[in-house]
Amino acid sequence: MKTTIHDLEIELVKKDTELQAVHNLCTNLQTNLNKIENMNEQIDKEKSLKIKKNEDRLKEMANERNQEIQRVVKMEQNIKELQHTIEKEAEERVDERNQEIQQVVKMEQNIKELQHTIEKEAEERVEDQTYHAETKTKNTKVHVESAVDNNSTPTERISEKKNSSSIIKDIDGKRLYKNRKVKVITLHDKTVFGAIQYIKSFRDKAKHIMFQIGSNDIEQKTPDEVIEEIEELVRVTQRYNPDATITFGEILPRFLSDRYYAKFFNEHRLIFNVQLYELCKDLDLHFVRYDFIQPDYFVDGIHIKGHGIPIMVMSIKRVLNTLLNVKLWENNEYNTKTNPVRNNGIPNYQMPNSITNRKQRDHQAFEQKSHFNNPIHVGSESAMNGRNKIVNMMELMLQEMRTENEISTFSMNGQIVLIGDLNARTGQRADFIVNDSDHINNFDGFDLLPENYITDSEINRNNQDTSVNTVGTKLLDLCLSSRLRLLNGRFLGDSLGYYTYMSSSGFSTVDYAVVSESLLSSVKYFKTNDFTYLSDHVQITLYMKCSINIDKEIGLEEKGWHWIKSYKWSENSKLKLIDALLTENVKNEIIEFEMVNYEENQVGVDEATEKLTKILDNISSLSCKATPKTKRRKKKRKFKQVWSDNVIYETKRQINKIGNKIRNNPNNNSLKQKFFELKKNLKKMVKQKKELYSVLLNSYQRFTVSSTKAIYAILKRNQSSNKQKELEDNGKDKWLICDEHCDKYLEYFCIKHDKPCCILCKRQYHRDCCEVEKIDDVIDESKLATTTNNLLSGIEIRKTILTKAANNELSHMGDIETVKVNCIIKVENTKSTIDTHLDFCKMRSRKT
């Protein structure tokens, strides 16, 4: 009995463990079923939401279409009404034009009668002139050579006509050109409106028309209003003289005693001249600039007299000579009316030494300006007749006004530091007020200066460059007015004022560091480095004492305010970047950034940079991985170019060594010659190495293994001693040379004909082909296409895998339900067997 009870206990334990396992399995199944039911509920909810959204969209679409139908019906009604009104207006206009035609017919009859009378008067005047000419020739008995006279008949076409205000009233049209008819007209109404009325009433036609007008209009109107009137003037002249070329002269400054009025006029003049120049550019007109006009040439502050007239005529001829096909040596001289000695015709008269002839003065003026083609980021424009480039003085003056305003605004917030290439040569002139004192008394003994006036401290500076240009004088004036000081030639590292720019023509000092006078005590060093192969300019470095106070209210972390988020570029970043640029958010941000008109000052620049950094940060976060900087500073690895070798590094080292010697010996021409020769050779070597490397890459990508012998031959040829000469003789690889044009390379690829071509083949045979692109671009596009195809194929594979997994999960769900039913049946059977066994055990225990 004991053995049987013990066996029953063991069996009971086993069955209990099995029941526990079955129970756990049932609970797991129950949880899975609950999850599936929740998933089904969520799917049903999502389906219902989608159905509702679709229904709402359909309703909205129906409403929109109904509204569109109503709009179309209204539009049709409006169109019908407009047709009726247009028909009525057309009938009225036809009646008005019939009346105008009748008036024009009457006007033509009157004009014919006037023409007959004018022709009779002209014939009588010609007879009188011929009679007077004959009498003059008899009295004087002077022999006159025959010349081409373009003014024989009154109805002949005028070669040039000038309509203007009283500014050019002293210019004589007969003295401008010898064998051409020039007419200078001073208008009675010296405004743009008066010029329009005169053009309408002027009967003779001219080949070239020049307007010098607008100064009187600016006194009473804004520049925009005057520009609109000038546009109307251009339309009228093109209507009445369609074959004539139109030229406008810029408005001259005014030097008046009333400073406020002069300042107001000159500011409007600058704005008007810039707008007039842009208008001439847009309408294909010609524009005259008066570059070398000085205040001494103005008599009353408005009108030019004396020696200013030839300079004014010089600038006018610079534009008109090309229009009239006049060569440079023709009509070079222009005598002013105001000189009685020359007008009387005294023989062997020469100009004084202070005033040179036109040719020499013009050459000197252009020599003065030739060094400063782009001063302080102001665009220059080439002059006519193939001369040197001249400075756009209007834009330069506007730029100076902006810099002074910016300096005044920045000085309110703190000190100022300006560093860079200013294209200014200052020589050894002082940038401070010499012998400055704070005691300047009036005649009454009253002190004119304020009490808080601070006198300038005299600190001399050295400079190896002794010459001064116009930009340099303006920089010195800016230093005087804004209390700024130059650091060149005053501190350790540049105590002698070394040169900062070197070219084949000579040396100059044009790179400066300019600071406020109050910052001079905090400057430790100012250093000018040696000349290198990188640039014609020298690197300048400034060392200053500064204390950075971190504001805790801003929310910057202590000792971590300089850590900025950085991003790492990966292989998939290119595709991610394209996808990020195609998103609607990025598109909207870029469009908003482009649509906003920012102000040309500090506030506008700050707003633009802030928005642009946000856009770039958003794009980089979508396409790259964010990598925070580590606290340890790693040593920068020197990036070595693949195409470079030891010869290039050796030439760079030699150039830097010679640049160090040139700094101490600037007058040594042999060092200078060696420097430029090595620099020239370096450029050639770098170009050749890059070309060879690109050839090798292209050959490696395009050709099979059978062409490796040719690649090996190129590599072996490159390692020979005469590699530069062989590269120049042979050029690139033979298989990249065009068969038809042996001196050209296959740089383009025609997609239509499916073959490569050179530049000449592109112009001759593929001119009509729309899809002719560079081979490098085609390679990049093919790579991108292959990557996109690979990506699409990968997406399709993943899609099929996911669909299979979903189908398998559904089948597994059915299997799970069957397993569940079987498990429940087994549990019930085991329960029944256990109950019967327990009953049997009880019965046996009672019997015992």
Domain with 612 in it: 568-594+601-623
pLDDT for the residue numbered 336: 41
Q: Are 281 and 235 in contact (CB under 8 A)?
A: no
Is the residue at 111 inside a domain? no
Helix H or strand E segment including 413: helix 393-413
In whole angstroms, what is the distance from residue 247 CA to residue 279 CA? 11
In whole angstroms, what is the distance from residue 580 CA to residue 590 CA? 12
Query: What would the 3-class secondary structure string for 695-706 be?
Result: HHHHHHHHCCHH
Is the residue at 136 inside a domain? no
In whole angstroms, what is the distance from residue 345 CA to residue 342 CA? 5
Angle between helix axes 223-240 and 192-201 (nearest 10 degrees) is 10
In whole angstroms, what is the distance from residue 733 CA to residue 723 CA? 14
Place of tokens 């066996």: 7
pLDDT for the residue numbered 223: 86
Nearest to 279 by CA among 324, 234, 241: 234
> What backbone torsions phi and psi does residue 288 show, to the nearest 5 degrees?
-110, 130
pLDDT for the residue numbered 400: 59
In whole angstroms, what is the distance from residue 92 CA to residue 40 CA? 76
pLDDT tens-digit series, residues 374-409 = 333 333 333 333 333 333 444 455 465 566 677 777
CA distances from 488 to 152, 176, 437, 463, 498 (A): 68, 50, 25, 8, 8
> What backbone torsions phi and psi does residue 543 show, to the nearest 5 degrees?
-110, 125
Q: Are 456 and 492 in contact (CB under 8 A)?
A: no
Are residues 184 and 311 part of one domain? yes
Are residues 303 and 186 part of one domain? yes
pLDDT for the residue numbered 126: 61
SS3 206: strand
pLDDT tens-digit series, residues 522-551 = 888 888 888 888 888 999 988 888 776 654
Are residues 432 and 319 part of one domain? no
Is the residue at 177 inside a domain? yes
Q: What is the DSSP letter of 769?
A: -
Are residues 475 and 423 part of one domain? yes
The total of structural domains in the chain comes to: 5
Is the residue at 383 inside a domain? no
Are residues 290 and 418 part of one domain? no
Are residues 441 and 301 part of one domain? no
In whole angstroms, what is the distance from residue 479 CA to residue 516 CA? 9
The tokens for 259 are 């400073």
Are residues 265 and 214 part of one domain? yes
In whole angstroms, what is the distance from residue 4 CA to residue 837 CA? 13
Nearest to 277 by CA among 265, 290, 264: 290
Q: Across 744-799, where does the E strand assignment appear?
A: 748-750, 755-757, 772-774
pLDDT for the residue numbered 731: 39
In whole angstroms, what is the distance from residue 575 CA to residue 119 CA? 82
pLDDT for the residue numbered 537: 92
Q: 692-697 — which CB contacts under 8 Å span 24+ positions?
A: 692/643, 692/718, 692/727, 692/732, 693/642, 693/643, 695/732, 695/733, 695/736
Are residues 655 and 520 part of one domain? no
pLDDT for the residue numbered 513: 93
Output the CA torsion sign for 87, 93, 98, 101: negative
Q: Are 378 and 394 in contact (CB under 8 A)?
A: no
Are residues 612 and 517 part of one domain? no
Is the residue at 294 inside a domain? yes
Are residues 402 and 499 part of one domain? yes
pLDDT tens-digit series, residues 422-470 = 889 998 888 888 877 666 655 455 566 666 667 777 788 888 888 999 8
Q: Which residues of the chain have pLDDT under 50?
A: 1-4, 132-157, 329-395, 398, 443, 551-563, 703-709, 712, 716, 719-735
Is the residue at 663 inside a domain? yes
Are residues 299 and 180 part of one domain? yes
Q: Across 106-205, where does the E strand assignment appear?
A: 158-164, 182-186
SS3 536: coil
Is the residue at 388 inside a domain? no
Question: 320: which residues sit within 8 A by CB, 6+ positions away?
Answer: 160, 208, 210, 247, 326
Is the residue at 121 inside a domain? no
